[in-house]
Structure formats: C-alpha cells, structure tokens
Amino acid sequence: MHDGTMQTQLSTCLAGCLALALWLARPAGAAAAGVSPESLERLAPQWQDGDLIFIRISNPIFRRVAETTDSWETHVGLLFSETNGTWQVAESTFPFSKFSSLNRFIARSEHRRFCVMRYRGGLTPEEKLDLRLSAGLRMGIPYDLGFNYDSPGLYCSKFVRQAYREATGYEVGRLETFRELLAKNPRAPLGFWRVWFLGHIPWERRCVTTTSQLKSGDLTLVFDSTQSSAPMGRRDASRPGR
C-alpha cells in the first residue's frame, strides 16, 4: 500500500476518533436565550421549503471553523415543511446526514441563535419538490471529516450546495482551495489544521464553507434571531438562468 494512502487512512481514523470525542462533549444550546420553542410556531409562516438555516454549534472543532472563516455560524441545513405543520431540517451531520426536527436543530446552537436565508426570488413549486427529493437522496451518507468537496462523503455546506445544484442548477456558496481559504484570514488557526491533518494541510483540496453561503449575494435574509423583529430580506424578482 502506498505511503500516501496509508497516511490518508490513518488521518481519517484519528480525526474520526477526535471528532467523536469532541462531538460527545459538545455543549447544548443555551435554552434561556434566543427564540423559544413556543415562538418557532409563530415564526414558521414566513419560511419556505428550501430556505437555508444557519446555526452556531460551539464545540472545539466548529469554533476553529468559525475562526478560520471569521464568521459566527458553523453549520447549515435546509428547511422543509411537513403535512402536519411541523418543520424539519435536512442536514449533513456527524456521523450521517439526516432529517432533524427544527427545534432540536436550533437547540444545538449556542444560545439558540439562528438565521434563515432564501435564494433570491424564491424557488418555484417544482424546484422545491426537486430539492426535497435531492436532499432525501443524500440521507445516511457519512460525514467527511476532511472537508473534501471531491470525496464521496458529505459535510453541511457541501450537502446544501450539491442538493441545490442538482435540483435547481443554482450554485450556493463558493468553491475554493484550503490555500485560498486560509490566506484570506491572517488569524486563521493554522496550528489546529496542521494537527487535524496530521501535519500536512491539503492546500489544494477544494471545499465550500457555510460563510461563503451565508454571505452569498444570491441569498436574502428572512429571519435573524439576534434582531428584535423578523425582517424579510430584499426581494429580488429577477431569476438567474440555470
């Protein structure tokens, strides 16, 4: 077996063990702050299938991700309504991608903070159905601890980008190499990433971040739990071609 292959497998194994230990130790979202479970029901009418929902999971891994991208959020999923009036979030999470109840999804966020964003102009009914199907086809896929866009595994922002691209043709978020990502932020924790990748950061590996999605010009704000009201984002009636 080639040394490179052995190193990749060892790196994946060690990263998995570390991730599992840190994940099990992750703090829950502070129930005393943010939007209460009771308030979610009143807010739900302003959301639509396919909206992106961002949260901050505050464990050691994701705190380093936030430091790297210089943003508050660390996780993203897709909102979908159910026939009984409840909302589910399709997400890539450790260890497998799944559907989670909206309340449980938000409960994982630090201080229950979240924001909801919408693709500009909104999606057509057909696009919403196709997006739900695309997300459903990605359930049960292992989480990629190497954040490799070109691997068979998934991580949250890759899950969202690929589901959107397959269902609508729209590309949500920017593909960039680790070299490009880390060069943008002088305060990025290079030491952490060297340890995470066993001393060898994969500089040319392609990835997509939650921050490139949150700050994308193709998304508009629907709701931000840190604001006193629920502002609707700028409505852009134009719809880019596929």
Q: How far is CA 36 from CA 31, 51, 104, 140, in A?
A: 8, 20, 11, 29
Whole-number mean pLDDT of the chain?
85
The pLDDT, as a whole number, for residue 41 is 80
pLDDT at 73 over 80: yes
Q: What is the pLDDT of residue 130?
A: 98
Residue 22: its H or E element: helix 3-24
The whole-number pLDDT of residue 239 equals 42
Read off the pLDDT of each residue in 12-31 and give the average, rounded to a whole number: 45
Topology classification of domain 3-224: endopeptidase fold (from Nostoc punctiforme) (3.90.1720)
Give the C-alpha separation, 213 to 218, whole Å.
Answer: 9
pTM: 0.84
| Mean pLDDT, residues 67-79 | 97
At 204 the pLDDT is 98
Most confident stretch, 13-27, 59-73, 135-149 = 135-149
Confidence of residue 240 (pLDDT cuts 50, 70, 90): very low
Length of the chain: 242
Q: What is the DSSP letter of 143?
A: B
The domain ranges of the chain are 3-224
Binned at pLDDT 50, 70 and 90, residue 77 comes out as very high
pLDDT at 33: 56
Banded pLDDT at 31 (limits 50, 70, 90): very low
Lowest mean pLDDT among 6-15, 37-46, 55-64: 6-15
Round to whole Å and give the CA distance between 152 and 91.
16
User: Does 60 score more than 90 pLDDT?
Assistant: no
The predicted structure's pLDDT at residue 40 = 85
Residues 119-144, mean pLDDT to the nearest whole number:
97
Tokens standing for residue 179: 């070299």
Rounded Cα–Cα distance for residues 101 and 59 (Å): 21
Report whether 88 contacts 80 (CB < 8 A). yes
Assign 23 a pLDDT band (cuts: 50, 70, 90). Answer: very low
Average pLDDT over residues 74-85: 95
Q: What share of the chain is helix, strand, coil (3-state, %, to 5)?
A: 40, 15, 45
pLDDT at 38: 75
- Per-residue pLDDT of 146-190, as tens digits, reads 999 999 999 999 999 999 999 999 999 999 999 999 999 999 999
Determine the pLDDT at residue 74.
Answer: 97
